Amino acid sequence: MTPSSGLAGDIRTLLAEAWRLDPRRLVLQVILLAISGLVGGIGLLLLVPIVNSVANPASTITVPLLGAMSFGSIPLSALLVAFVLLTLAQALVNRTSMINSTRMQQEIVDRLRGEAFDAILSATWTFILRRRRSDVIEIVTTGAARSGLAFQQLLQGAVTLVLALATAVVALLISPVVVGIALVGVLAVGALRLMSIRPSYRLGVMFGDRNRTLQSVMADSMDSLRLIRAHDASPVWTQRLTNAFIDAREVQIATVRRSSTVTAISSVALASAAALLVLLSVQMNVPATSIVVILLLVARLTTQVQLLANTANLLANFLPSVGDLTSLAAEARAAAEVPAGEGTTRSPMVSDSQEPLLDFRDVTFTYPESDSGITSVSFTVPRGQITALSGHSGAGKSTTADLALGLLTPRSGVLLIDGVPLVPGDLRWWREHVAYVPQETVLLPGTLRDNLVWSSSNPVTDDECWTALDRSAARFARSLPHGLDTVLGDRGS
């Protein structure tokens, strides 16, 4: 999915992702919202005859579009039962809607996170080197979670909007003039609250930046722990971490400060409007029972508008994470190591070929925005022999190994595998013939068996696992309490 920038673009991205994930589930959510609003509106309309039956059962009620209506012949108990049943129906609809929306939210988070991570794993090595590892982790974890919260707020806002519209329609049916004036005030306060949406979005952008800085300081501290202790530099790194915490904290405090200030102002404004509404109703000789119902409905509408504004601000604050996540995935896909549609046409490698296994011909490579790398390197790796690369630190041994693996692409020159130039479409074919042991031990979370078989695309038997362990670690492995099924701790502990 191509990301859209900005607040509106991020909302479109969320909705498009929900549609792409499961159109039927999204349509179901819209239907549930409509049913909830309709049932809720009917339930609110029942408040009029209920209050009237308590105060003056013999009177009639004049409702615009419906005319004069009398409910004196309907027992109060029947009206109350109908009200409870409508409330029950709305609760069941809302329950179904909540479950449906939560499922969509979790699936969207998993989809966005999975697509971003898959794109990163398929991107070129230079793309990965240019990205700060802690930034990627923050976007794919915290950023994805905040994207899910954004979708949750989007759905919550839709629910609140439908209920607010239903409340407004019922109130207008009871007293169009009085409620119309009240609606102007409520909408004015709502507009005031919505003015803080763009600042909330900017604060969300700032939070993402500050949080990534915090994650970077944490990661750098753990990676450099030995060096920090060797130089007794703990106070320096503690101060760096403290500053990063403060920066992230101040953004959150600023968000709450802005939101609470607007809430306080709007609460006072709404209370003043309610007082004026009562005075206006008395001057217009509105029946007392109608005033009670109108006040109840306007208070309910006010709460819903306040909630809608709060939801909109939270949505705006979470939305930048959607842009971060989709942008990361789009950039990674654009830097795909193997372009879409490309594949190898090469046959399985044969051992009796007369061509060298590897042939570097005048290969030059430099890292982006750097002069380090290798220049005009030429050598061959014969079959069936051991070839060693030697040189001082920084001479380019690791770079040469990365080129041989196809992780890096030469700036000039050519790398031949079995006499044929290595091209992106052949990378997977080539790596099926390569065994790579890094300088640092890498153990994955899971069992000993998981760490032995994870790179194989074919099933691996226990005998094959023990054959591999017999090369160096069988005695240790057999001493483990559960053998191949022993769960390894952090870094193999």
Identify whether 441 is part of a domain: no
Taking the C-alpha atoms of residue 261 and residue 246, their distance in angstroms, rounded to an integer, is: 22
Identify whether 342 is part of a domain: no
Query: Hey, what are 355's tokens?
Result: 């061509």
Structural domain count, the chain: 3
List the domain range (segments joined by +) for residue 465. Answer: 446-492
Q: Does the pLDDT at position 237 exceed 80?
A: no
134-161 confidence digits (pLDDT tens): 888 888 888 888 988 898 888 888 888 8
pLDDT tier for residue 70 given thresholds of 50, 70 and 90: low
Do residues 325 and 390 share a domain?
Answer: no
| Cβ contacts of 46 within 8 Å, gap of 6 or more | 79, 82, 83, 86
Taking the C-alpha atoms of residue 403 and residue 329, their distance in angstroms, rounded to an integer, is: 25
Q: Does the pLDDT at position 55 exceed 70?
A: no
pLDDT for 288: 67
| Cβ contacts of 125 within 8 Å, gap of 6 or more | 337, 402, 407, 408
Identify whether 436 is part of a domain: no
Longest Cα–Cα distance of the chain, Å, equals: 108
Mean pLDDT over 45-70 rounds to 62
Do residues 254 and 319 share a domain?
Answer: yes
pLDDT for 282: 74
Do residues 427 and 452 share a domain?
Answer: no
pLDDT for 385: 86
76-86 confidence digits (pLDDT tens): 788 888 888 98
Q: Does the pLDDT at position 473 exceed 60?
A: yes
Do residues 427 and 464 share a domain?
Answer: no
Do residues 326 and 465 share a domain?
Answer: no
Do residues 321 and 393 share a domain?
Answer: no
pLDDT for 377: 92
Do residues 421 and 483 share a domain?
Answer: no
Identify whether 353 is part of a domain: no
pLDDT for 400: 92
Considering the chain, what is the average pLDDT of its residues? 81
The count of residues in the chain is: 493
339-348 confidence digits (pLDDT tens): 877 778 888 7
Q: Lowest-confidence range among 71-85, 97-111, 179-193, 324-338?
A: 179-193
Mean pLDDT over 370-379 rounds to 88
User: How many Cα atoms are found within 13 Å in the side-chain-facing hemisphere of 226?
Assistant: 1
Identify whether 339 is part of a domain: no
Q: Lowest-confidence range among 10-19, 159-168, 208-217?
A: 159-168
Q: Does the pLDDT at position 60 exceed 60?
A: no
Identify whether 1 is part of a domain: no
The full DSSP string for 302-358 is HHHHHHHHHHHHHHHHHHHHHHHHHHHHHHHHHTBSS-TT----PPPP-TT-SS-SE
Do residues 286 and 382 share a domain?
Answer: no
Q: Does the pLDDT at position 182 exceed 60?
A: yes
Instruction: Check: CB of residue 298 under 8 Å from CB of residue 179.
Output: yes
Q: Does the pLDDT at position 211 exceed 60?
A: yes
Between the alpha carbon of residue 394 and those of residues 358, 366, 370, 371, 450, the distances in Å are 22, 13, 13, 12, 34
Q: Does the pLDDT at position 305 exceed 80?
A: no
Choice between 166 and 366, residue whose per-residue pLDDT is larger:
366
pLDDT for 358: 92
Q: Does the pLDDT at position 290 exceed 70?
A: no
pLDDT > 70: percent of the chain = 87
pLDDT for 376: 92
pLDDT for 5: 62
- CATH code at 295? 1.20.1560.10
Q: Does the pLDDT at position 468 exceed 60?
A: yes
pLDDT for 404: 92
Mean pLDDT over 370-386 rounds to 88
Do residues 310 and 215 share a domain?
Answer: yes
Do residues 291 and 368 share a domain?
Answer: no
Angle at CA of residue 486, ends 485 and 489, nearest 5° = 135
pLDDT tier for residue 414 given thresholds of 50, 70 and 90: very high
Query: Hey, what are 439's tokens?
Result: 């300088």
Do residues 455 and 482 share a domain?
Answer: yes
**Of 277, 328, 314, residue with least CA distance to 298:** 277
Q: Does the pLDDT at position 73 exceed 90?
A: no
pLDDT for 83: 85
Residues 103-122: b if buried by 16+ CB within 10 A, e if exposed: ebbebbbebbbebbbebbee
377, β-bridge pairs: 363
**Of 216, 295, 297, 214, residue with least CA distance to 249:** 214
Do residues 81 and 170 share a domain?
Answer: yes
pLDDT > 90: percent of the chain = 9
Choice between 249 and 44, residue whose per-residue pLDDT is larger:
249
Taking the C-alpha atoms of residue 404 and residue 402, their distance in angstroms, rounded to an integer, is: 5
Identify whether 416 is part of a domain: yes
Taking the C-alpha atoms of residue 441 and residue 438, their distance in angstroms, rounded to an integer, is: 7
Identify whether 16 is part of a domain: yes
Mean pLDDT over 155-174 rounds to 78
